[in-house]
Amino acid sequence: MKFKKVLATSSLLAVAALTLSACGSQKAQQNSHKPAAKQVLNWSLQTELATLDSVTVTESASGDMINNSMEGLFIIKNNKPTPGLAMDTKASSDGLTYTFTLRKNAKWSNGEPVTAHDFVFAWRRAVDPKVGALGSYMYSGIKNADDILAGKKSPDELGIKALGDHKLVVTLDKQLPYLKLLLGDARFFPQNQKAVEKFGKKYGTSSATTVFNGPFILKGWTGSNLSWKLVKNKNYWNKKHIKMDTINFKVDKSLTTAYNLYQAGKVDFTPLSAEQAKQLAKQPGYRVLHPAQISYMEFNEAKKEFQNKKIRQAIGYAIDRDQMAKSVSGGGSVPLTNLVPEGVSSFKGKDFATWAKTKVGVSYDPKLAHKLLKEGLKELGKDQLEFDLSGPDTETSKKETEFIQSQIEQNLPEVKVQTRNVPLKTQIAKSSKGQFDVQLTGWLADFADPSNFLDIETKDNPTNMGKYDSQKYNDLMNAAETTDAMNKDKRFADLVAAAKLLNEDQPVVPLIQEGNPEILRPTVHDMVENTAGLIENFRYVYVTE
């Protein structure tokens, strides 16, 4: 989702979700891994909770808490779907109808059974325009969802129905090869209708106004306080495999304070600043998570100068992404080789980013940049170019826009760049109306599939704010989502070709993949951090003495 801080932390060089038990010191690795008598964790976060309502959640801190206190049809582990409440899944031969058999021993924390009707209720609520859930776009592809969101049909016409309490049937408008990944997202979780109707607008605004069906129950969150905890859910269907008794969470917005607490043994995990990362890179438990989150530049092709491919290419070749990642963005960020970062998906043992990697459009080549610029300006009948580069007003974004400005003006003397950093809401409002020249923007994957990145440049996607329109590109993406959707080889080939075409056409300039440095006590094992969608998964964690 554009500009989305997650559902993921700031939220893929990890190739998949990362298991932290291998990150300990040599001493920890030699430990017998004897479980501690008390299975308790203390966790430091930078961001407070916004909601526990799985339908309306939009950011990572809340999403991660929902992911561990509630459960849907599938659980995402290592960026792959594993069975959750769905014991069995059957798909029709045309890939448009799915029948899920639900577990009969799943319960809500109010004592009621979890049934297929809870999914029907939650999904209809998610697409209801009256609710206004920002994540409702993820339902596109499920039968009638687009028409419901447009106000043309009733939420009752969504392609989902319950056949009794333990059979759920989902009908699609088109094949979705990544459907199971979608269904592992919080926005497709069930909801207890009695609880939602009882609490009304207060549902999910505190732990007391929420019911849970996951491995843990969240307690102690009032809606505004900065500490709470997850406690083992004794009614969870898979409780015998949940090792942690309690996980205490505390929001520390100062990373200095958080690391001091880590050193004092009062917390077992904390994110790190770029400066801390440099100092602690060799410490036991240090690691860098590379979420499926990227930064890129986008050209407004409604502007005549940016309709010229050579102009776009020249600007792309003028930027040293390696230097930007190492000296500007910091924290373990890495340069992109195409719009899809590493760790999103793989095919035949190779990462998608490796298959799609080219030097075209993503290399640092000042001589080629200048040659292309002169040719492009000549075609436009100009001898110089001026444009605004807009971006968010965060500290990091300001540094990045200044770096890009410096690179372009240094390598392309005929170009003058004016940077304009504004509040994120302002940038989104302006860019959605086409009121920009070039913008520094970003994307964080909702699910681990290349299409989640590549779709943003298709003609009719509202996120395609630069109005890139390539028939060849649109045809490749359409084939990947229709005729080739269920053929893994053909679909992957379509997506790779589309990624390479973007590099050639340069409607966007891929820049960097974000890196999040953090430190986890080496006595903590089997902590899973997915790199797309819902990040933190505590279902498998245990601590040793």
**Cβ pair 462, 470 in contact under 8 A:** no
Tokens found for residue 410: 């240094």
pLDDT at residue 33, as a whole number? 73
The residues, any chain, with a CB within 8 Å of residue 53's CB and separated by 6 or more, are 203, 204, 205, 210
Considering the entire predicted model, what is its pTM? 0.81
219, 210 contact by CB (below 8 A): no
* Predicted confidence (pLDDT) at residue 339 exceeds the cutoff of 80: yes
What's the mean pLDDT in 121-139? 93
Please give the Cα distance from 150 to 85 (Å, whole number).
31
Q: How far is residue 255's CA from residue 74's CA, in Å, rounded to a whole number?
A: 34
Distances (CA, A) of 465 to 2, 7, 310, 476: 11, 22, 20, 20
Compute the average pLDDT of residues 303-309: 97
pLDDT tens string 397-406: 898 999 999 9
Q: What is the pLDDT of residue 94?
A: 92
Most confident among 4-8, 30-34, 53-57 (mean pLDDT): 53-57
Q: What is the largest CA-CA distance in the chain?
A: 76
Predicted pLDDT of residue 222: 97
Q: Percent of the chain having pLDDT more than 70?
A: 94
Domains of the chain: 18-249+516-543 (3.90.76.10), 293-513 (3.10.105.10)
Average pLDDT over residues 480-488: 91
pLDDT band, residue 27 (cuts 50/70/90): very low
Query: Which residue's entry shows tokens 């009794």?
Result: 164
Kindly report the length of the chain: 545
Main-chain dihedrals φ then ψ at residue 23, nearest 5 degrees: -95, 5
User: Could you give the angle at the alpha carbon of 267 between the alpha carbons of 228 and 444, nearest 5°?
Assistant: 70
Asked whether the predicted pLDDT for residue 30 surpasses 90, the reply is: no
pLDDT of 24 > 70? The answer is no
pLDDT tens digits, one per residue of 192-231: 999 999 999 999 999 999 999 999 999 999 999 999 999 9
Dump the DSSP string for 340-366: SPTTS-EETTEEHHHHH--STTTS--H
* C-beta atoms surrounding 10 within 10 Å: 20
How is 261-279 classified by DSSP, letter by letter? Answer: HHHTTS-SEEE--HHHHHH
DSSP conformation letters of 176-230: -TTHHHHHTSGGGS---HHHHHHHGGGTTSSGGG----SSEEEES--SS-SEEEE
How does the average pLDDT of the chain come out, rounded? 91
Phi, psi of 525, deg, nearest 5: -125, 150
> According to the model, what pLDDT value does residue 32 have?
55
pLDDT more than 90, % of the chain: 77
pLDDT of 463 higher than 50: yes
Question: Which of 225, 254, 292 is CA-nearest to residue 6?
Answer: 292
Give the CA angle between residues 181, 182, 184 to the nearest 5°: 65
**Does residue 173 surpass a pLDDT of 50?**
yes
**Cα–Cα dist 396/394, whole Å:** 5
Q: Is the pLDDT of residue 86 over 90?
A: yes
